[in-house]
């Protein structure tokens, strides 16, 4: 089994977050860290990975996720997988 990964624009991030399935994810790469976003049936899980250290945050609303990520997505590449 293989998966397809594609780069998405910041403008489309909200759309991708809203329709994110439990077997899909979003990865954000910037110069300081990696951010991984997954979704269960009830909430989003955001994993901030920096210097081999992971920190997890949980949010139930897509707008809270976007507000939380606002500074992290300015100079970054975003991928859907």
Q: Give the whole-angstrom CA distance, residue 9 versus residue 77.
A: 8
pTM: 0.90
Strand partners, 28: 35, 78
Q: Which residues contact 59 (CB under 8 A, 6 or more apart)?
A: 43, 44, 46, 65, 68
Q: What is the pLDDT of residues 24-55, one digit of tens each?
A: 999 999 988 999 999 998 999 999 999 999 99
Instruction: Tell me how far the alpha carbon of residue 30 is from its chain's centroid.
Output: 12
For the chain, give every domain's residue range: 24-63+73-81
Q: Which of 78, 66, 68, 81 lies closest to 14, judged by CA?
A: 66
Q: What is the pLDDT of residues 3-25, one digit of tens each?
A: 689 999 999 999 999 999 999 99
């Amino acid at each position: 089994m293989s998966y397809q990964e594609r780069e998405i624009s910041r403008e489309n991030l909200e759309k991708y977050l809203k329709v994110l399935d439990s077997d899909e994810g979003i990865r954000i790469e910037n110069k300081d860290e990696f951010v991984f976003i997954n979704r269960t049936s009830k909430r989003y899980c955001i994993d901030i990975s920096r210097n081999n250290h992971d920190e997890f945050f949980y949010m139930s609303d897509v707008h809270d996720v976007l507000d939380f990520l606002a500074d992290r997505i300015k100079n970054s590449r975003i991928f859907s997988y």
